[in-house]
Amino acid sequence: MLRSAEPYPVLRLKPGREKSLRQRHPWIFSGAIAAADAAWQPGDTVTVQSSDGACLAHAAYSPASQIRARVWTFDPRERVDAGFFQRRVARAVALRATMQDASHTACRVVHGESDGLPGIVADRYAGTLVLQLMSAGAERWRDEIVAALAAATGAACVYERSDVDVRKLEGLPPRVGALHGSLTDPVTFVEDGLVYRVDVAGGQKTGFYLDQRTNRAIVRQLSAGKDVLNTFAYTGGFTLAALAGGAKSVVSIDSSAEALHLARENVARNAALPADRAEWREADAFAELRKLRDRAAAFDLAVLDPPKFAPTAAHAERAARAYKDVNLLALKLLRPGGTLATFSCSGGIDAALFRKIVAGAAQDAGVDAAVIGTLGAAADHPVALAFPEGEYLKGLLLRKAG
Ligand code: SAH
């Protein structure tokens, strides 16, 4: 029911619940809402008003989710239509213009809330774009989003990988398949001069962990002459970086046979890399690290990039134990003076807690270590200052005392 001159139905907040919106945080939780209309459909655009009738934003309504609405625009004059998506997508793509050239043909071109496009992620692998739609609002505007992406990037194919768990929270089924053009396998791209193949249809996430790009470059710089351990190696991102940086040896561990198969292929694809210096272990990392410890193996540089142990804060305690366990083992496996690049991509664990967990691991390992760098996602994964939830990838570069 329209109660004002707004172009969209009005979603009114409870008194005092407008503060986060005024700070430009884009989520409206169910508890903040005074009343909603049962007739509103998932993805409908609504105008968010404070309890005293001030217009705060236009947002996408999502009745199934605790995040009941996500802001499209804080400008009351802006309309949410095909033109809106053209403008936002073009802006996001333009911001990445300097991040792609002949030696970097992959890039995250849309990074959700931090690009003003809540629930929307798009990764570019050369001429192929992989799209994830994770909210009712994003789902509603699929066609417009795909058209905007194709126009702004000139991609030959836009392939949807909306098979992520978070869609369940929005009441959305998984969806996978080509939305524009058709997928021509194999899809390959170049990162830092190295060629990778990405399994767009079957890989994890959109197929590759582009967020680790700058951290792979750091590992590459640190690898010359080193014995390197790459735990949770996936398709070999850090392995290739270490080999390209002149590592003496690289042991890569992952539990996924498919991922390791692709990782080996990726090494072979780059003729200049010394494939004979790479050793592959298809195994549970927790068990394999213990085996290495029992055999008194030793490394100069270790990378720990585990999967999301804590998707939300509710999983934080169990996740903390898992992080502590692998970090403790990795620190023990390092030679004196060795370096550890350790990561958490868990939304439920913030940077301060992660550092505490790693400090606890060092203490229990009886190891003195110092932070020599803090690591995060690459610049194509921006974090809007008003949206701290966007900072999911945290990393520490540690030096073990000599
Ligand atoms: N570092 C990688 C990304 C890692 S993603 C890159 O830069 O591309 C996390 C990886 O951990 C996945 O490949 C997954 O298969 C693997 N994994 C998950 N649980 C595991 C376990 N218990 N032991 C070993 N590998 C595991």
Distance 331 CA to ligand 1 centre (A): 18
**Closest-CA residue to 211 (of 382, 84, 75, 355):** 382
pLDDT in tens, the chain (402 residues): 444 567 999 999 999 999 999 999 999 999 999 999 999 999 999 999 999 999 999 999 999 999 999 999 999 999 999 999 999 999 999 999 999 999 999 999 999 999 999 999 999 999 999 999 999 999 999 999 999 999 999 999 999 999 999 999 999 999 999 999 999 989 999 999 999 999 999 999 999 999 999 999 999 999 999 999 999 999 999 999 999 999 999 999 999 999 999 999 999 999 999 999 999 999 999 999 999 999 999 999 999 999 999 777 788 889 999 999 999 999 999 999 999 999 999 988 999 999 999 999 999 999 999 999 999 999 999 999 999 999 999 999 999 998
Q: At what angle do helices 316-333 and 351-365 cross, to 10 degrees?
A: 50
Residues with beta carbon inside 6 Å of ligand 1?
204, 209, 212, 232, 234-235, 237-238, 253-256, 259, 284-286, 305-307
Question: CA 192 → CA 196, 207, 212, 215, 286, distances in Å?
Answer: 10, 18, 12, 11, 30
Spot the catalytic one: 55, 107, 157, 345.
Answer: 345
Q: What DSSP state is assigned to residue 388?
A: G
Distance from residue 232's CA to the centre of ligand 1 (Å)? 4
Please say whether the beta carbons of 21 and 57 come within 8 A.
yes
Cα separation, 231 vs 330, in Å, equals 9
Nearest CA, atom 15, ligand 1: 256
What single-letter amino acid sits at 184? T
Two tokens at 24?
């430009």
pLDDT of residue 4: 52
Check: CB of residue 23 under 8 Å from CB of residue 386: yes
* Sequence-distant (≥ 6) Cβ neighbours of residue 294 within 8 angstroms: none
342 token code pair: 């350790």
Determine contact, residues 316/352, Cβ cutoff 8 Å.
no
Q: What pLDDT does residue 43 have?
A: 98
CA distance 41 to 167: 16
Cα–Cα distance, 132 to 123 (Å, whole number): 9
CA angle, 165 as apex, 280 and 130 as ends, to 5°? 70
Predicted pLDDT of residue 1: 43
The reported pLDDT for the residue numbered 18 is 97
Centre of ligand 1 from the C-alpha of residue 371, in Å: 24
Parallel/antiparallel/unpaired status of strands 299-304 and 334-344: parallel
Query: Residue 350 C-alpha to ligand 1 middle, in angstroms?
Result: 20
H-only helix segments in 248-296: 257-269, 285-294
Give the neighbor-by-neighbor strand order of the sheet with 27-29. Answer: 27-29, 67-73, 55-61, 45-49, 10-13, 33-35
| Whether the Cβ atoms of residue 348 and residue 311 lie closer than 8 Å to each other | yes
Q: Is 345 a catalytic residue?
A: yes
The whole-angstrom separation of Cα 251 and Cα 246 is: 14
Instruction: Tell me which residue has tokens 């582009």.
Output: 210
Sign of CA dihedral 294, 299, 305, 310: positive
> To test the ligand 1 pocket, which listed residue (125, 191, 220, 232) has its Cβ within 8 A of the most ligand atoms?
232
Mutate to test the pocket of ligand 1, among 254, 258, 308, 343 (most ligand atoms within 8 A of CB): 254
Give me the pLDDT at residue 5, please.
62
Place of tokens 């990378």: 303
Q: Whose CA is nearest to atom 11 of ligand 1?
A: 232
- Rounded to whole angstroms, the Cα distance separating 158 from 335 reads 46
| Best mutation site among 209, 255, 345, 381 for ligand 1 pocket (most ligand atoms within 8 Å of CB) | 255
The DSSP 8-state label assigned to residue 4 in this structure reads S
CA of 344 from ligand 1 middle (Å) equals: 12
